[in-house]
Amino acid sequence: MQREKFSIITYGCQMNVADSEVVVRILTKAGYEFTENLNDSDIIIFNSCTVRQHAEDRVVGRITQEGSRKKAKHNLLIGLIGCVAQRIGNELLNKIDSLDFVAGTDQYRNLPEIIEFAKLKNISNLQENYNENYEDIYPLRKKNVNAFVTIMRGCNNFCSYCIVPYVRGKERSRNFKAILSEVEKAGKNGFKDITLLGQNVNSYNFGKCNFAELLKKISKLSSIERIRFVTSHPKDLSDEVINVMANEEKICEHIHLPMQSGSDKILQSMNRKYTKTHYLKLVDKLRNSIPDIAITTDVMCGFPDETEKDFLETYDLMKKIKFDYTFTFKYSPRNGTAAEKFDNQIDEKIRLERLQKLINLQEKITLQKYKEQIGKSVKVYVENISKKDENEVSGRTCDNKIVVFSADKNLIGKFVKVKIYDAIGWTLKGKIYKR
Ligand code: 5AD
Ligand code: SF4
């Protein structure tokens, strides 16, 4: 008998990508076959982000659009999983005719049953108790040579703007033994560059193993060569972790350290629990301990009550620190969060103007930083065929910069030495000179 086929379309952060890989494993084990071809699919699953309203609107639009496939294929099922499903899954089931099932972030083990239910036109309940770590499930990675390894789920921080603690539940760390065995296996399967994932990796704690200890243990595994991690919270990044980063060769010279704002007033109202001075001290410590470290960040503008002066403090701090890259966001009110009810919500027009200023500033800084790379020889992990030219490949440096260069696609998954000769936007151009 032919196996039913499913596809997954993932939007959002690396955590969602990693979750989709868990789902691919669960459904494959249950007898379904994964396909990337939507025309071939009997089940199309969307896994989507809800951090900002825009992400949510996009997936709702896409589900409605893909629903037209049902005219030609009557038994096609369409499902929505992940953060949006967790937040408003029941509402969407009522609102979108073509949506057949939903499953929250901790319900993936039940997906085979949820799908069987949906075939009978029955609707399963959304679950709201969060305790799942998918401890024993080895993600089925379909693409590329980088492995995302989830080390913790959920978040206890309740930053006042953020929906994540409501849709992913309380923070829980995965057993370090399960993490080590997953990383080792990934390395043996050819994933030499791994990224440890959690909303707040610096508060990882399992028994006596904290994040610094975990990094040391993973560094000892011979099957992998590069270790990355996201996301670090400035209030929890310890000297111990900075020292491990400085001392362990395999830990990449890169940190993603969301700053969010340069105004102490706004940071406090965001419930971030650090000040601008603390953030600056961390940047100094990192740069003193790891001189070539690349620092990237998230910055938000237009948070309630952000005055022009507050905004300028953010702008000036970005100018001072000179991040290698900044993910810039305009504040998006999320239903149920504390900030949604704050006074002095900022006009959309002002939010957009401020966002554009931050984007323009970072573009200049990134280009300047990337131009400084010209002439350097870097070790690149080859990841993909270039999107623009199939005779070129793209890869990543230890400090997380993308390099494009002419090379055979057989080099994907290997390390090569590349000499940088140009920087275009946030892409470096290089020439291979030694294997
Ligand atoms: N509005 C805008 N940006 C947000 N982020 C999180 N919640 C919101 C929101 N409500 C941003 C933060 C976070 C990144 C992942 O998304 O900057 O670090
Ligand atoms: Fe959201 Fe803050 Fe948790 Fe990050 S640390 S997921 S911004 S609540």
Written in H, E and C, the secondary structure of the chain is CCCCEEEEEECCCHHHHHHHHHHHHHHHHCCCEECCCHHHCCEEEEEECCCCHHHHHHHHHHHHHHHHHHHCCCCCEEEEEEHHHHHHHHHHHHHCCCCCEEECCCCHHHHHHHHHHHHCCCCCCCCCCCCCCCCCCCCCCCCCCEEEEECEECCCCCCCCCCHHHHHCCCEECCHHHHHHHHHHHHHCCCCEEEEECCCHHHCEECCEEHHHHHHHHHCCCCCCEEEEECCCCCCCCHHHHHHHHHCCCECCEEECCCECCCHHHHHHCCCCCCHHHHHHHHHHHHHHCCCCEEEEEEEECCCCCCHHHHHHHHHHHHHHCCCEEEEEECCCCCCCCHHHCCCCCCHHHHHHHHHHHHHHHHHHHHHHHHCCCCCEEEEEEEEECCCCCCEEEEEECCCCEEEEECCHHHCCCEEEEEEEEEECCEEEEEEEEC
CA 158 to centroid of ligand 2, rounded, Å = 6
How far is residue 293's CA from residue 195's CA, in Å, rounded to a whole number? Answer: 17
Indicate whether 384 pLDDT > 90.
Answer: yes
Q: Does 337 contact ligand 2 (Cβ within 6 A)?
A: no
The closest-lying atom of ligand 2 relative to the alpha carbon of residue 155 is: 3
Ligand 2 pocket mutation, candidates 51, 86, 162, criterion most atoms within 8 A of CB: 162
The partner residues of 238 in beta bridges, in order of sequence, read none
Measured from the Cα of 13, ligand 1's closest atom is 15
Ligand nearest 260 Cα, by number?
1
Ligand 2, atom nearest to 156 Cα: 3
Contact 167, 51 (CB under 8 A): no
DSSP code of residue 260? B
Q: Name 412's bridge partners.
A: none
Q: Is the shortest distance between the CB of 192 and ligand 1 below 6 Å?
A: no
Centre a 10 Å sphere on the Cβ of residue 207 and count the other Cβ atoms it contains.
10
Phi first, then psi, for residue 144 (nearest 5°) are 50, -175
152: Cβ below 6 Å to ligand 1? no
Cβ proximity of 255 and 295 under 8 Å:
yes
What is the distance in A from the centroid of ligand 2 to the CA of 199?
6
Q: How confident is the model at residue 434 (pLDDT cuts 50, 70, 90)?
A: low
Q: Which fold has domain 5-119?
A: Rossmann fold (3.40.50)
The Cα 305–Cα 352 span in angstroms is 15
Task: Give nearest CA residue, ligand 2 atom 1.
Answer: 162
Lowest mean pLDDT among 23-27, 99-103, 138-142: 138-142
Query: Does 155 contact ligand 2 (Cβ within 6 A)?
Result: yes
pLDDT of the residue at 129:
80
Nearest Cα residue to atom 14 of ligand 1: 298
Cα separation, 11 vs 100, in Å, equals: 19
Distance CA 313, CA 296 (A): 18
Is there an atom of ligand 2 within 6 Å of 339 CB?
A: no
Distance CA 86, CA 92 (A): 11
Q: Is 141 in the pocket of ligand 2 (CB under 6 A)?
A: no
Phi and psi at 209, nearest 5°, equal: -95, 110
Pocket probe mutation, ligand 2, options 155, 266, 331, max atoms within 8 Å of Cβ: 155
**pLDDT score for 435:** 53
377-432 shares the fold of 5-119: no
Domain range summary for the chain, segments of one domain joined by +: 5-119, 377-432
How far apart are alpha carbons 52 and 65 in whole angstroms? Answer: 21
- 333 Cα nearest atom in ligand 1: 10
Output the pLDDT for position 128. 80
Checking if the pLDDT of 130 tops 90, the result is no
Instruction: Summarize pLDDT for 153-167 with one digit per residue, the tens.
Output: 999 999 999 999 999
Between CA 270 and CA 252 the distance in angstroms is 30
* pLDDT score recorded for residue 33: 97
In 3-state terms, what secondary structure has residue 419? strand
Structural contact between residues 172 and 131, judged by C-beta atoms closer than 8 angstroms: yes
Q: How far apart are CA 384 and CA 411, in angstroms?
A: 9
Residue 105 in contact with ligand 1 by CB distance below 6 A? no
Q: Is the CB of 160 under 6 A from ligand 2?
A: no
pLDDT digits 0-9 by tens, 264-319: 999 999 999 999 999 999 999 999 999 999 999 999 999 999 999 999 999 999 99
For residue 164 and ligand 2, the question of a CB distance below 6 A is answered with yes
Give distance in angstroms: CA of 375 to centre of ligand 1: 36
CB distance 351 to ligand 1 below 6 Å:
no
In the CATH scheme, what is the code of domain 377-432? Answer: 2.40.50.140
12 CB under 6 A from ligand 1?
no
- Minimum mean pLDDT among 21-25, 52-56, 254-258, 349-353: which range? 52-56
Q: If you compute the radius of gyration of the chain from its CA atoms, what whole number of angstroms results?
A: 22
Instruction: Return the best residue to mutate from 15, 166, 199, 303 for the ligand 2 pocket (most ligand atoms within 8 A of CB).
Output: 199
Alpha-carbon torsion, ordered 102, 106, 109, 110, to 10 deg: -40
Pocket test for ligand 1, best of 329, 355, 358 (most atoms within 8 A of CB): 329
**Residue 334 in contact with ligand 1 by CB distance below 6 A:** yes
- Is pLDDT of 9 > 70? yes
Q: Is the beta carbon of 51 within 6 A of some atom in ligand 2? A: no
For residue 272, the model assigns a pLDDT of 98
CA 162 to ligand 2 centroid distance, Å: 6
Structural contact between residues 255 and 293, judged by C-beta atoms closer than 8 angstroms: yes
Judged by its nearest atom, the ligand closest to the C-alpha of residue 336 is: 1
% of the chain at pLDDT higher than 70: 99
- Model-level pTM? 0.95
